[in-house]
Amino acid sequence: RRFDYRPKTDPYCQARYTFCPTGSAIPVMKEEDAIEVYRLQAPVWEFKYGDLLGHLKIMHDAVGFKSSLTGKNYTMEWYELFQLGNCTFPHLRPGMDAPFWCNQGAACFYEGIDDAHWKANGTLVLVTTISGTMFNEMAQWVKHDNETGIYYETWTVQASPDKKSTMWFDSYECSKFILRTYQKLADLGAVFKKIQTNYTSIILFSGEPIYLGNETSIFGPQGNKTLAAAIRDFYNPFKPHQSVLEFFVDLFKIIDRVMLNHQFYLFYNLEYWFLPMKSPYLKIIYEEVPLPVGNKSSFGV
């Protein structure tokens, strides 16, 4: 779903690590420039935990560019403004009936490619070469995509692990932005190399979701107080933990509700849904998604 504008962020929402600290505007390239495009991938939080999450195939994706005329490198990625936990689960604030969400994602563009970061435990590989004209058209698309696709969505929700199973909800995170970018470049005429490209998905498995309503219809003055209490109770164990004991107590509650009682409440595009969970409940996959097929008569091979 696309939105008309990006809402202002609430001062309550604070990130442990600043979003896009060295970000800059996307430059206008000369039409005759030949710009190399690189696939970048590394384990999530690689800067802090090294390859730890890489062993679980929890990867972060980005795209790199190198101008042949200037020799300058650039990195473009899309990630959470307030870190993954805030985008995935809400805060239960005193005096507020409705769960409070600190959830936005956005594109970040900055000069330079941190070779060590991407190469150490991940991937830095050339996937295509484009013209300056194509880069500039892509930049205009990025601006529109960034202004209208504003909420981060961690979960993909499917009916079963079968690849042909029904997808109830699709995720909207870093890899989906990169896939959209590649597709836009292909639409503009980029020809991609034939290399294998894999991406991480975190999948919940559920029967057909049940629509519950939005914040007003559930938590407003005329809302459903029983349902409102059930949603708040469900999200309570996902709050930040203060001690090891609290962590294990809350972990047991999560397992009890999701796996034993087959319950999950999903907030998606500003609406609440009930997911009747079923085995295997959750799975992290690292699945191949081929690079798009470009126009053979386009610039660069």
pLDDT in the model for residue 297: 43
Query: From CA 51, how far away is CA 20, in angstroms rounded?
Result: 22
Query: Residue 104's closest CA among 125, 135, 119, 83?
Result: 83
Q: pLDDT tens-digit profile of 127-157?
A: 999 999 999 999 999 999 999 999 999 999 9
Host H or E run for residue 228: helix 225-235
Active site residue 117: no
Contact 45, 53 (CB under 8 A): yes
pLDDT in the model for residue 283: 94
The residue annotated as part of the active site, out of 87, 102, 108, 174, is 174
Q: Which residues of the chain register pLDDT less than 70?
A: 46-50, 52, 55, 241-242, 294-301
pLDDT in the model for residue 122: 87
The residue annotated as part of the active site, out of 20, 60, 87, 117, is 60
Active site residue 91: no
pTM, two decimals, is 0.89
Cα–Cα distance list, 150 to 8, 61, 172 (Å)? 11, 18, 9
Query: From CA 283, how far away is CA 9, in angstroms rounded?
Result: 32
Q: pLDDT tens-digit profile of 99-108?
A: 999 999 999 9
pLDDT in the model for residue 186: 97
In the chain, where are the structural domains located?
Answer: 34-158+169-198
112 CA to centre of own chain: 22
pLDDT in the model for residue 32: 95
Q: Which two tokens stand for residue 276?
A: 């009747």
Query: From CA 164, how far away is CA 102, in angstroms rounded?
Result: 33
